[in-house]
């Protein structure tokens, strides 16, 4: 299943264009292999941050038993990896060193793992309603997808590194070998495979969380990425104003079909003043409409802040900003919640 598709970008420069084409090629093979596989979820161009460390992940696989980060690398000519796992490439018949894409993927995997393990209580269910299952024992792997027309010299490459180097057209096969998904035998009857497995709801929750984290860093993609609607939750409570961000309003969730109730509640909603997310200014802002919807222009730092935010109730990114007279309202397409941001 493709959760976040590869977005089209206007790449500038020969190298940028080659890199973007390589990512498009990998995305093509991943789509062909896993678009109808519910046990495998695919992200492209996922950005995450933990403790000030950023990770721009070319491709992420979330599957029943764990996570796989794929780094796409466009290489023309020949690439060598020596016994010390140092990389070099030929360019116009001259050899030069290059950063290890495997090491880069491992650093991205560390950020991913930190984000997940420090937020697992937001995603996973409870065992017998008491004990968090957590993310212990899950599989964490990396692969490097190299251009199909590159020549790879593996003669001196360490085995553990060589196993991670894959030509683009073989990426799906390499993933299937790593994931080892059971074909016919139900999970409950597996005897020799002791890996802890995510169920369908946990996979959905993890993917929803990752997409929400991405949109916090890339709010301009709110309207173009695929939204994951979480399962409806019964008996939602009124949100405590102390737990709501500066953008949000404390009010009861409203049925999506009752427009009159939503409008009435919005008029009495408690509005929290908006802030510039960059410099925290609140009195130097003006509202504008752009390609990706409404946003605030800060005249202090000259930066923009999107009005659109994930839902305060179900955390769905499937929201929409609309203008009602002089007010700006946000509607959640997942649970029907509505709040006023300005």
Distance of CA 186 to the CA centre of its chain: 29
146 Cβ contact list (under 8 Å, min separation 6): 73, 75, 79, 152, 165, 166, 167, 168
Count of CB atoms situated within 10 Å of the CB of 99? 10
* Residue 335: pLDDT over 80: no
Task: Tell me the per-residue pLDDT of 306-331, one tens digit each, with 9 for 90 and over.
Answer: 888 787 777 777 788 888 877 888 88
265 falls in which pLDDT band (50, 70, 90)? very low
Residue 273 has pLDDT above 70, yes or no: no
User: Which segment of 19-23, 152-156, 299-303 scores lowest on mean pLDDT?
Assistant: 299-303
Sheet holding 151-153: strands in order across?
Answer: 94-98, 87-91, 78-81, 151-153
Q: Quick one: pLDDT band at residue 264, thresholds 50, 70, 90?
A: very low
Residue 163, pLDDT above cutoff 80: yes
pLDDT in tens, 37-75: 999 999 999 999 998 899 999 999 999 999 999 999 998
Q: Which of 45-49, 88-92, 130-134, 338-342 has the highest mean pLDDT?
A: 45-49
């Amino acid at each position: 299943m493709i959760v976040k598709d590869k977005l089209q970008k206007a790449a500038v420069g020969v190298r940028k264009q080659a890199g973007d084409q390589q990512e498009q090629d990998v995305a093509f093979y991943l789509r062909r292999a896993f678009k109808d596989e519910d046990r495998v979820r695919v992200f492209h161009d996922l950005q995450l941050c933990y403790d000030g460390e950023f990770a721009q992940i070319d491709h992420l696989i979330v599957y029943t038993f764990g996570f796989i980060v794929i780094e796409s690398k466009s290489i023309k000519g020949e690439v060598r990896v020596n016994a010390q796992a140092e990389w070099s490439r030929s360019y116009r018949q001259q050899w030069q060193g290059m950063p290890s894409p495997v090491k880069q993927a491992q650093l991205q995997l560390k950020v991913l793992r930190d984000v997940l393990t420090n937020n697992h209580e937001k995603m996973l269910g409870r065992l017998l309603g008491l004990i968090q299952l957590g993310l212990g024992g899950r599989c964490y792997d990396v692969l490097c997808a190299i251009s199909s027309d590159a020549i790879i010299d593996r003669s001196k490459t360490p085995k553990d590194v060589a196993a991670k180097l894959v030509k683009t057209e073989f990426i799906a096969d390499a993933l299937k070998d790593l994931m080892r998904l059971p074909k016919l035998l139900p999970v409950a009857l597996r005897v020799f495979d002791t890996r802890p497995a995510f169920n369908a709801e946990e996979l959905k929750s993890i993917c929803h969380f990752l997409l929400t984290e991405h949109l916090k860093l890339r709010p301009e993609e709110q309207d173009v990425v695929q939204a994951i609607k979480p399962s409806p939750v019964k008996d939602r409570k009124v949100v405590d104003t102390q737990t709501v961000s500066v953008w949000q309003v404390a009010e009861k969730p409203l049925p999506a079909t009752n427009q009159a109730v939503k409008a009435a509640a919005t008029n009495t909603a408690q509005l929290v003043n908006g802030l510039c997310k960059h410099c925290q200014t609140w009195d130097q802002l003006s509202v504008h409409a752009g390609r990706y919807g409404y946003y605030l222009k800060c005249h202090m730092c000259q930066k923009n802040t999107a009005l659109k935010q994930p839902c305060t109730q179900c955390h769905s990114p499937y929201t929409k900003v609309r203008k009602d007279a002089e007010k700006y309202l946000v509607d959640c397409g997942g649970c029907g919640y509505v709040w006023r941001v300005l």
